[in-house]
Amino acid sequence: MNSVSPSLISPDIPTQPQVSTPLKLGIMASGSGSNFEAVAQAIQNGQLNAQIQVLIYNNPDAYAAVRADKWNIKSVLINHRDYKYRKDLDKQIVQTLRSHDVEWVIMAGWMRLATQTLIDAFPDKIINIHPSLLPSFKGVGAIEQAIEAGVKITGCTVHLVCLEMDSGKILMQAAVPVLPDDNPDTLHTRIQIQEHRILPAAIGLAAKG
Ligand code: GAR
């Protein structure tokens, strides 16, 4: 069996700490930050042995920064609009993550593609959550894509990040039925319930591996 094997659909989420020393996480978010908060909550509940060193956000009005304040977690705005080249944005991100002693990078609703600069700085230690059962429905609008395709089951995936978008090794998935009267908002709400379960669990599993 692989050290980090894809979990079954709707996995039982471990409630014990996965590693003996707290993981040092850097979280990256672009929007609401509910997944960021789910990780913070899992740490507080003792389900994940980790500490969040810093939140990086790229949109000045991202609600994730408000959540960080609430949790007393340092947040740093790195606005992608200030960088002409993606690799320069990622250089600044790497510098910020390193200056906060980050070991694992968690993209929790981070809506920018990673360049080789970021991937090389944290090899096999960047984790992303995506609102579909990959490899289906990559990229933006994953939930709209699922509704449009008429699938009866979709879900969410936690995976390692590689250069190709939404294509790295799958760590954990959860399935969510698509109901006949679903719209993107109702479906996203139910997907997020599962995201908040599997993201902290997958971080623990990845680190253990
Ligand atoms: C989440 O549903 C996440 O899966 C998605 O953005 C949302 C962020 O929500 N990520 C992607 O679409 C990445 N391709 P949040 O800000 O409330 O955590």
In angstroms, rounded to a whole number, what is the distance separating the alpha carbons of residues 180 and 118? 41
Q: What pLDDT is attached to residue 20?
A: 77
Give distance in angstroms: CA of 127 to centre of ligand 1.
13
**Active-site residue, 196 included:** no
**pLDDT under 50 in the chain at which residues?**
1-9, 16-18
Q: Hey, how many other C-beta atoms are within 10 angstroms of the C-beta on 130?
A: 22
**What pLDDT does 13 receive?**
56
Are 4 and 209 contacting, i.e. CB atoms less than 8 angstroms apart?
yes
Q: What is the pLDDT of residue 8?
A: 39
CA 146 to ligand 1 centroid distance, Å: 15
CA–CA separation, 87 vs 50, rounded Å?
28
Query: What's the Cα-to-Cα distance from 136 to each of 64, 127, 140, 147, 177, rounded to whole Å?
Result: 27, 18, 12, 12, 15
Structural domains for the chain: 20-207 (3.40.50.170)
| Chain position carrying tokens 């080249």 | 85
Predicted local confidence at residue 209, as pLDDT: 82
pLDDT of residue 173: 98
Tens of pLDDT, residue by residue over 148-169, are 999 999 999 999 999 999 999 9
Q: Which entry of 80, 130, 188, 196 is annotated as an active-site residue?
A: 130
- With a Cβ cut-off of 6 Å, ligand 1 is lined by 29, 31-35, 108-109, 111, 129-131, 142, 156, 192, 195
Ligand 1 centre distance from Cα of residue 98 (Å): 24
Which residue CA neighbors atom 7 of ligand 1 most closely? 109
Closest CA to 35 of 140, 95, 111, 103: 111
